[in-house]
């Protein structure tokens, strides 16, 4: 014998292959987890934004309907006021027994005015609700962007850890290869 150690090469190759397979399996698992997390964040964000947009659209439509109703009420109120002025002018010419129609018209105008005030309040309420929805939508978008940033940072950390592990395994393999090639001085 010339001082070389008898090392079973097949066992080391199998061990290195197992380490590489385990490392590859871990890398694949991390990649699948990253993809799953990104898909989950994306779907959650899309669903939340779509929900808020539907709600916002409903509020906008209700607001537009109320606005149209307020405009129609204003026009109707203006017509009634014009009729009242006309009736007052004619009333001066009519006997006192016919003043009942004026009282009825004034009651109508008062009722229309009350309805107009109520519609205005409803419009203001809907406008406030619309603004709250816009704020909620904006906050949700910011929160989702933060979650995406956190997921990206975690992904970068996992990739860095994976790179370190790959480098360690490569060093181990290199060291084993050098040991196998080095003559045994024992």
Q: Please name each of the domains of the chain with its CATH number.
A: 9-175 (1.10.287)
> From first to last of its 186 residues, what are the pLDDT tens digits of the chain?
445 445 445 545 555 677 888 888 888 888 888 888 888 888 888 888 888 888 888 888 888 888 888 888 888 888 888 888 887 777 666 555 556 777 888 888 898 999 899 989 998 999 999 999 899 989 988 998 998 899 889 999 999 989 999 988 889 888 888 888 876 655
The beta strands (E) that lie in the chain are given as none
Cβ pair 126, 63 in contact under 8 A: yes
> For residue 101, what are the CA distances in angstroms to 76, 90, 114?
18, 11, 20
User: Under DSSP, is residue 92 helix (H, G, I), strand (E, B) or coil?
Assistant: coil
Distance CA 152, CA 137 (A): 22
Q: What is the pLDDT of residue 1?
A: 43
108 CB burial (10 A radius; 0-12, 13-18, 19+) = middle
Distance CA 100, CA 113 (A): 20
Distance CA 165, CA 183 (A): 29
Q: What is the pLDDT of residue 181?
A: 82
């Amino acid at each position: 014998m010339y001082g070389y150690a008898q090392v079973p090469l097949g066992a080391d190759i199998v061990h290195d292959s197992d380490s590489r397979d385990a490392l590859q399996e871990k890398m694949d698992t991390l990649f699948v987890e990253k993809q799953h997390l990104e898909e989950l964040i994306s779907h959650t964000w899309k669903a939340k934004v779509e929900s808020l947009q539907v709600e916002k659209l409903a509020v906008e439509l209700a607001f537009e309907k109320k606005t149209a109703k307020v405009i129609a009420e204003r026009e109707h109120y203006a017509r009634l006021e014009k009729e009242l002025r006309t009736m007052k002018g004619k009333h001066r010419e009519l006997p006192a027994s016919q003043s009942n129609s004026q009282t009825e018209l004034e009651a109508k105008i008062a009722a229309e005015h009350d309805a107009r005030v109520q519609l205005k309040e409803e419009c203001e309420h809907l406008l406030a609700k619309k603004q709250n929805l816009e704020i909620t939508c904006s906050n949700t978008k910011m929160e989702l962007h933060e979650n995406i940033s956190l997921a990206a940072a975690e992904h970068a950390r996992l990739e860095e850890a994976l790179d370190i592990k790959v480098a360690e395994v490569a060093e181990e393999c290199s060291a084993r290869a050098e040991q196998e090639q080095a003559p045994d001085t024992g």
